[in-house]
Amino acid sequence: MSDPSFAPRPTLEAVAARAGVSRATASRVVNGSEGVRAPLAERVRRAVDELGYVPNQAARALVTRRNDAIAVVVAEPETRFFSDPFFAQQVRGISKELTAHDNQLVLLLTEGADDYARVGRYLGGGHVDGALIFSLHDDDTLPTMARRAGVPTVIGGRPDWSDSDTLYVDCDNRGGARDAVRHLLDLGCRRIGHIAGPLDQTSSVDRLDGFRDALPGIDPRLIAEGDFTPDGGSRAMARLLADFPDLDGVFAASDVMASGALRLLRTRGRRVPEDVAVVGFDDIVSVAEWTDPPLTTIRQDIEEMGRMMARLLLRRIEAGGAEADRPALSSIVTRTQLVVRASA
């Protein structure tokens, strides 16, 4: 017990004593409240320095009911979170925004459905002031858990229900998909296939809808469902090629899947874009610029969307539960943009 790490951290009380003021005044100085005369404040600050005082967060949280921490929950049973750069970028945006507002990011990974209970407990435990939830699949119970736990939430990607006080941030998946297909059409493609994402996610469905918008009444076999992995993209591509040897254009619902498709096309000896033009979605630079040929794609500003999620959540927390403020906050749908590289 002689270990130095056992030296009790100084308390506000100690600081106050050393500065010769009351705990309240010390607290005021530490928290930057107005109305403390300069000399006193100075003394307190000195005491803080000398003692190396750091506020005890637990005590503070207990009374303020604020943790300055936000949970990021990834509803991805597969461990796509770590292999797909999409998440990385989004988390980066979130992290930046949170940091700028002195909030901590608490990452909650769910490896499987078993983990949901744990996450629920955590959210309910009052550890965090809010939650950012990603990558929802059909019937995901996470948002419900968060709501029951009374934790303000913002969702990444349009949820599959609509409800005025569910806030989300998404890009215009459908519009972007339309643009992708139109580009293919403009290039003169006659037989265009679609590699869709998992259709239990709205982003996939919306992109598929956009595809159909541009190609009404298309043969459903021209649509192959992937899983947002390179492998899945490859497989879907293979299927499409098998069914339609005359395929001359492909719109993949993600760059990652497009990269898989490109690979397969190469092994099959199809030239891109001469034989088959390919358009992706996301514009994940580390993927799109590195494929061979570089990928034409639909850009969404993923990092910025992350920031927006964080900002929206912080505002919602700020507003508290006060209903009056509710209408002022609304979900955000960002615009997409066609980025032409070499693949189409």
Partner DNA sequence: CTGAAAGCGCTAACAT
Partner DNA sequence: ATGTTAGCGCTTTCAG
Tokens found for residue 290: 């590195």
Tell me how crowded residue 64 is: count the other CB atoms within 10 A of its CB.
10
Closest CA to 150 of 174, 187, 123: 123
Residue 28 partner contact from DNA, a copy of itself, none using kind-dependent CB cut-offs of 5 to 8 Å: DNA
The amino acid at 218: I
What is the biggest distance separating any 2 CA atoms in the chain, rounded to whole angstroms? 86
Burial of residue 41 (number of CB atoms within 10 Å: 0-12, 13-18, 19+):
buried
Query: Which region holds residue 36: left if phi is over 0, alpha if psi is between -120 and 50, else beta?
Result: beta
Tokens found for residue 198: 């998992």
Give 148's contacts (C-beta < 8 A, 6+ positions apart): 120, 124
The amino acid at 13: E
**Shortest distance in whole angstroms from residue 24 CB to DNA:** 3
Residues in the chain: 344
Residue 180 partner contact from DNA, a copy of itself, none using kind-dependent CB cut-offs of 5 to 8 Å: none
Per CB under 8 A, which region of 2-10, 29-37, 169-177, 241-249 contacts a copy of itself?
A: 2-10
Q: Which of residues 67-86 bind a copy of itself (CB under 8 A)?
A: 67, 69, 79, 81-83, 85
- Using the minimum distance from each CB to a copy of itself, give the nearer residue, 148 or 335: 148
Token match 């009444």: residue? Answer: 217
Binding mask 268-287 for a copy of itself (x = CB under 8 A): ------------------x-
Binding mask 19-58 for DNA (x = CB under 7 A): -xxxxxx-xx-xx--xxxx--xx-----------x-xx--
Check residue 63 for interaction with DNA (CB under 7 A). yes
DSSP count for the chain of H helices, then E strands: 14, 12
Check residue 337 for interaction with a copy of itself (CB under 8 A). no
**Shortest distance in whole angstroms from residue 31 CB to a copy of itself:** 14
Q: Which of residues 131-190 bind a copy of itself (CB under 8 A)?
A: 148-150, 152
**Shortest distance in whole angstroms from residue 65 CB to a copy of itself:** 8
The amino acid at 67: N
Residue 13 partner contact from DNA, a copy of itself, none using kind-dependent CB cut-offs of 5 to 8 Å: DNA
Angstrom distance (rounded) from CA 11 to CA 17: 10
Per CB under 8 A, which region of 20-28, 36-44, 95-103, 244-252 contacts a copy of itself?
A: 95-103
**Shortest distance in whole angstroms from residue 66 CB to a copy of itself:** 10
Angstrom distance (rounded) from CA 102 to CA 261: 42
**Shortest distance in whole angstroms from residue 222 CB to a copy of itself:** 27
Burial of residue 119 (number of CB atoms within 10 Å: 0-12, 13-18, 19+):
buried
Residues that bind DNA (CB under 7 A): 8-9, 11-13, 20-25, 27-28, 30-31, 34-37, 40-41, 53, 55-56, 59-60, 62-64
Residues that bind a copy of itself (CB under 8 A): 1-7, 9, 52, 54-59, 61-62, 67, 69, 79, 81-83, 85, 88-89, 91-92, 95-96, 99, 102, 104-109, 111, 115, 118, 121-122, 124-127, 148-150, 152, 230, 286, 290, 320-323
